[in-house]
């Protein structure tokens, strides 16, 4: 095979060690290799950089091993062209497996140009991704603490959650604060209700009558303080995300070019010069049912705003883990389980899909209802997430807001076939049917 990279290196990365194999293909076709093991501390990784520079290495390949590849990538990023490859795509030859053989195999594959690099976003986007993922963890932790509060209330015979849809809303927090302060009169605590909750004062009096002791009050005080702390943390993270998005919007996006699909050459040239900013991308995604600003920020932190890095929406869907699986052999179809992908993006899309299926009269809710009955709710919600991601791909590519097709899209697309189906059903019941279209409505004036 033709050698593509004459000076390259393969790295087998672990927690404490990095096994490096540098490969040099000389003019006569002679191949010289050398293997050396380095530590993963910063001084030791700098030695690795110097060792690679001795042979004037241009390309470096390593597998995406957990979080261990990131320290190595941080130091190699500015000095070499680094390819982060998927371990599933790099199948080792049969035989004994060692760290040295893995590094040699990566170096050999890289020299022939047989490795495909994984998508690694730019440093500002990686920082934004860390913030959005951390925000998700904080929200999940807050939910767990809220569940612990509910457990303590149940142990104290307080049934506040049975009356209030949000026990930690404005009214619920005041009642719990009074409970922690030592209040035992259920009538006084129920009178703290605000707004529409005041219509439920009789039910609240019964729900707030329980067996509360000092242990329950101490536990509630600690948990409510923890919730307040998490609320402050979430607010600070959201403010920082907003600042990062604003700063990234002000930076030039030279690699983010739109790809128009129609129009004259002059229009195409003008549209190609337009560049989408991060703020504009968040605004575009906010037009999709089920997606708000927070969800849009989380999605863009994973995918970025340049869809040119994905050859097609199908590639993006598979990378996100919401594409249908394809497993067929010998004429038989096996499990169509969705492939593994970006877990954070998949989770965000599925949550947005659950919100979208609850909307009324929308295309996404119709897709869910059509599939849920015969394929199950979980498969249907993944299909909705896939449809949303395809829309996101073209919206960011063409700089266009979401186009709502409507809840009757499928009926209108096959109107005649739908009418024939219902006519046959009526004829089976012994009814003679004659169908005539409504007369056209003429505009007044």
Q: CA 393 to CA 309: how far, in whole Å?
A: 11
Q: What is the pLDDT of the chain when averaged over all its residues? A: 88
* Chain segment 163-208, per-residue pLDDT in tens: 998 999 999 999 999 999 999 999 999 999 999 999 999 999 999 9
366 token code pair: 């119709």
Whether residue 164 is contained in a domain is answered as: yes
What pLDDT score was predicted for residue 329? 65
- pLDDT of 106 > 70? The answer is yes
Q: CA 333 to CA 330: how far, in whole Å?
A: 8
Q: Picking from 62-66, 148-152, 422-426, 434-438, which range would have the lowest pLDDT averaged per residue?
A: 434-438
217 token code pair: 């009050």
Q: Are residues 81 and 166 in the same domain?
A: no
Closest listed residue to residue 141, CA positions, set 226, 218, 222, 221: 226
Whether residue 298 is contained in a domain is answered as: yes
Q: Are residues 203 and 230 in the same domain?
A: yes
Q: State residue 60 phi and psi, 5-degree precision.
A: -130, 135
Where a domain ends, among 398, 413, 428?
Answer: 398
**Count of domains in the chain?**
3
Q: Are residues 145 and 236 in the same domain?
A: yes
By the 8 A CB rule, do 121 and 304 touch?
A: yes
Percentage of the chain exceeding pLDDT 90: 68
Q: CA 124 to CA 240: how far, in whole Å?
A: 13
Sign of the dihedral through C-alpha 139, 141, 142, 146: positive
Whether residue 177 is contained in a domain is answered as: yes
Q: Are residues 142 and 221 in the same domain?
A: yes
Where a domain ends, among 248, 282, 299?
Answer: 248
What pLDDT score was predicted for residue 97? 74
Q: Are residues 295 and 387 in the same domain?
A: yes
Identify any residues that bridge with 82 across adjacent strands, giving them in sequence order: 60
Q: CA 381 to CA 364: how far, in whole Å?
A: 10
Q: Are residues 394 and 277 in the same domain?
A: yes
Q: Are residues 352 and 376 in the same domain?
A: yes
Q: Are residues 80 and 53 in the same domain?
A: yes
Which CATH number belongs to the domain containing residue 72 in this structure?
3.30.420.10
By the 8 A CB rule, do 237 and 130 touch?
A: no
Which CATH number belongs to the domain containing residue 130 in this structure?
1.10.287
* Chain segment 79-90, per-residue pLDDT in tens: 999 999 887 777
The angle at the Cα of 154, spanning 149 to 159, to the nearest 5 degrees, equals 100
Containing structural domain, residue 213: 125-248
Q: Are residues 60 and 33 in the same domain?
A: yes
Where a domain ends, among 111, 136, 161?
Answer: 111
By the 8 A CB rule, do 192 and 178 touch?
A: yes
Tell me the pTM: 0.83
Q: CA 425 to CA 54: how far, in whole Å?
A: 80
Q: How many CB atoms are located within 10 Å of the residue 216 CB?
A: 19
Q: Which helix (H) or strand (E) holds 180?
A: helix 170-180
Q: Are residues 241 and 297 in the same domain?
A: no
- pLDDT of 52 > 60? The answer is yes
Mean pLDDT of 242-271: 60
Sign of the dihedral through C-alpha 408, 412, 416, 417: negative
Q: Picking from 112-121, 263-272, 417-426, which range would have the lowest pLDDT averaged per residue?
A: 263-272
443 token code pair: 């505009």
Whether residue 29 is contained in a domain is answered as: yes
Q: CA 397 to CA 307: how far, in whole Å?
A: 6
Whether residue 425 is contained in a domain is answered as: no
Q: Are residues 92 and 133 in the same domain?
A: no
Whether residue 254 is contained in a domain is answered as: no
What pLDDT score was predicted for residue 6? 92
Whether residue 403 is contained in a domain is answered as: no
Closest listed residue to residue 271, CA positions, set 162, 398, 362: 398
Whether residue 287 is contained in a domain is answered as: yes
Q: Are residues 28 and 134 in the same domain?
A: no
Mean pLDDT of 263-269: 42
Helix (H, G, I), strand (E, B) or coil at 311: coil
- pLDDT of 270 > 50? The answer is no
Helix (H, G, I), strand (E, B) or coil at 19: strand
Residue with tokens 């930076």: 251
């Amino acid at each position: 095979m033709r050698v593509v990279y004459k000076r390259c290196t393969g790295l087998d990365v672990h927690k404490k060690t990095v096994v490096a194999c540098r490969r040099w293909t000389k003019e006569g076709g002679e191949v010289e290799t050398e293997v050396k093991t380095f530590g993963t501390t910063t001084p030791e990784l700098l030695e690795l950089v110097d060792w690679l520079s001795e042979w004037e290495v241009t390309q470096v390949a390593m597998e995406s091993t957990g979080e261990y590849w990131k320290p190595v990538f941080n130091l190699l990023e500015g000095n070499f062209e680094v390819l982060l490859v998927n371990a599933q795509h790099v199948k080792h030859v049969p035989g004994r497996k060692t760290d040295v053989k893995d590094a040699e195999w990566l170096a050999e594959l890289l020299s022939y140009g047989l490795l495909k690099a994984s998508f690694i976003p730019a440093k500002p986007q990686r920082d934004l991704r860390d913030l959005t993922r951390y925000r998700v963890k904080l929200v999940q932790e807050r939910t767990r603490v809220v569940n612990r509060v509910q457990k303590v209330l149940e142990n104290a015979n307080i049934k506040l959650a049975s009356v209030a849809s949000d026990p930690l809303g404005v009214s619920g927090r005041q009642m719990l604060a009074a409970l922690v302060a030592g209040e035992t009169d259920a009538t006084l605590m129920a009178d703290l209700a605000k707004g529409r909750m005041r219509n439920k004062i009789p039910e609240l009096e019964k729900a707030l009558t329980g067996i509360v002791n000092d242990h329950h009050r101490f536990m509630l005080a600690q948990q409510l303080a923890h919730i307040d702390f998490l609320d402050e943390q979430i607010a600070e993270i959201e403010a920082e995300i907003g600042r990062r998005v604003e700063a990234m919007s002000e930076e030039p996006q030279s690699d983010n070019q739109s790809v128009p699909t129609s129009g004259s050459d002059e229009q195409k040239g003008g549209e190609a010069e337009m560049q989408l900013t991060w703020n504009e991308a968040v605004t575009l995604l906010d037009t999709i049912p089920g997606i708000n600003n927070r969800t849009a920020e989380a999605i863009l932190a994973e995918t970025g705003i340049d869809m040119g890095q994905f050859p097609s929406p199908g590639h993006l869907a598979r990378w996100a883990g919401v594409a249908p699986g394809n497993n067929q052999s010998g004429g038989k179809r096996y499990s169509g389980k969705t492939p593994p992908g970006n877990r954070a993006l998949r989770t965000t899309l599925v949550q947005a899909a659950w919100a979208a299926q609850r909307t009324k009269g929308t295309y996404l809710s119709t897709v869910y209802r059509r599939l849920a009955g015969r394929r199950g709710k979980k498969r249907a919600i993944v299909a909705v997430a896939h449809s949303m991601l395809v829309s996101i791909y073209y919206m960011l590519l063409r700089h266009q807001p979401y186009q709502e097709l409507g809840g009757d899209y499928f009926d209108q697309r096959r109107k005649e076939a739908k009418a024939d189906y219902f006519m046959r059903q009526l004829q089976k019941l012994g009814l003679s049917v004659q169908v005539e279209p409504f007369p056209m409505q003429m505009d007044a004036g």
